[in-house]
Amino acid sequence: MCVGAASAAPTAICSVEAMESSRIRDGVRAGLPLVLAPLLFGAGFGLLAVDAGMGSLGAVVMSATTFAGSAQFAAATILKDGGGILAATVAAILLNARYVPQSLAVASIFPGSRLRRLVESQLIVDESWALAGRSGRFDYGILVGVGILLYVLWVGGTAIGTVVGDLLDPEAIGLDAAFPALFLALLAPYLLSRRALATALVAGAITLALLPFTPPGVPIVAASLACLLGLRR
Amino acid sequence: MTWLVIGIVGAATIAFKASGPVLLGRRELPARALALVEALAPAMLAALVVTQTVGGDRAIVLDERLAGIVTGGAAVWLRAPLVVVMIVAAATAALIRLF
């Protein structure tokens, strides 16, 4: 518990570790509006993965190691439709390639040893990454806090899905429409800057132009090249 | 054989996510690299908005998500909190699917 930060007590008793855990707690709180989706989509993935022949253990292991919804759904759908293991692997890897630029962008916020950074960086997912950047600078506590919350619900939801099946169709309650709106809300503050607005418009145009022609995942990676506009003076 | 998919995809994703914090670490980036990093957030967010609104498998799919982004966008315009924006978008899509 970090006493110094909240009270008039001397800040000397507030260790770095205590500061970090209090920031992570704030991060968990920041992720609370998102709790329903990973649970329901996680259960949906668990059910689909068992149908696809991955087995309950395989489904849970994939959620625990890959921890990226769209890639996991793509891989399981391809396996279920008989598309083969090569197609499933390539599709999932392309979908997750966007985590390279995302990871490079937040590299400097992770403290500690290389092993600790390796472990904690696994909590990078679109939602934790986007929420962590909300204030204009990436925040370690938000990324890790939101990431832990989503990780537990995603892996737990997957396990539930392999046993009891779908909890509730996420699309019936419109959850698939909630996420583009979330990302739009997180994008909005950037649009006040003309340069960021131009970057966003170019990125959106690249994505839209490539969507009909390239495998899923490629448009997002290509769109990240719009950040080269940031070099313009 | 599905374990091969699980193993390879898992290993690749772990490497992707770790690439920045493990390879770059806390090293100070040069100013030009920082400018790139700063511009990445609006680029990535715009791409996510587009793929999650109209993305399909090698296709542009126009469905209830589009109505959700319109009402959700209006909520953003009115400076509604994040959770309200998400509920407005989800409720819009859900209601249209109901009728």
In a domain, B42, yes or no: yes
Confidence tier at A14 by pLDDT (50, 70, 90): low
What average pLDDT does the structure give for chain A? Answer: 89
In a domain, B78, yes or no: yes
Would you state the pLDDT for residue A12?
A: 47
A42 within 8 A of A154, measured Cβ to Cβ: yes
Cα angle, residue A40 at apex, residues A132 and A184 outer, rounded to 5° = 40
In a domain, B76, yes or no: yes
Instruction: Convert the pLDDT of each residue in A77-92 to its tens digit.
Output: 999 988 889 999 999 9
A152 has pLDDT over 60? yes
- CB contact under 8 Å between A105 and B41, yes or no, is yes
In a domain, B14, yes or no: no
Residues of B in contact with A188 (CB under 8 A): 76
Q: Which residues of chain B have pLDDT under 70?
A: none
What's the structural domain count of chain B? 1
Least Cα distance to A75 among B1, B88, B24, B81 occurs for B1
The share of chain B scoring above pLDDT 90, in percent, equals 75
A107 within 8 A of A73, measured Cβ to Cβ: no
Q: What is the pTM of this model?
A: 0.88
A1 has pLDDT over 70? no
In a domain, B18, yes or no: no
Instruction: Convert the pLDDT of each residue in B16-42 to its tens digit.
Output: 999 999 999 888 778 888 888 888 989
Full domain range(s) for residue B45: 30-98
Residues of A in contact with B9 (CB under 8 A): 62, 66, 71, 75, 88-89, 92-93, 96
Confidence tier at A233 by pLDDT (50, 70, 90): low
In a domain, B6, yes or no: no
Instruction: Convert the pLDDT of each residue in A165-217 to its tens digit.
Output: 877 888 888 989 998 999 999 899 889 999 999 999 999 999 999 999 998 88
- CB contact under 8 Å between A184 and B69, yes or no, is yes
Would you state the pLDDT for residue A13?
A: 54
Question: Which residue of B9, B56, B93 is in closest CB contact with A177?
Answer: B93
Would you state the pLDDT for residue B34?
A: 81
Question: Cα separation of A141 and A138, whole Å?
Answer: 9
The C-alpha R_g of chain B, in whole angstroms, comes to: 19
In a domain, B64, yes or no: yes
In a domain, B21, yes or no: no
DSSP-derived letter for residue B23 is I
Confidence tier at A138 by pLDDT (50, 70, 90): very high
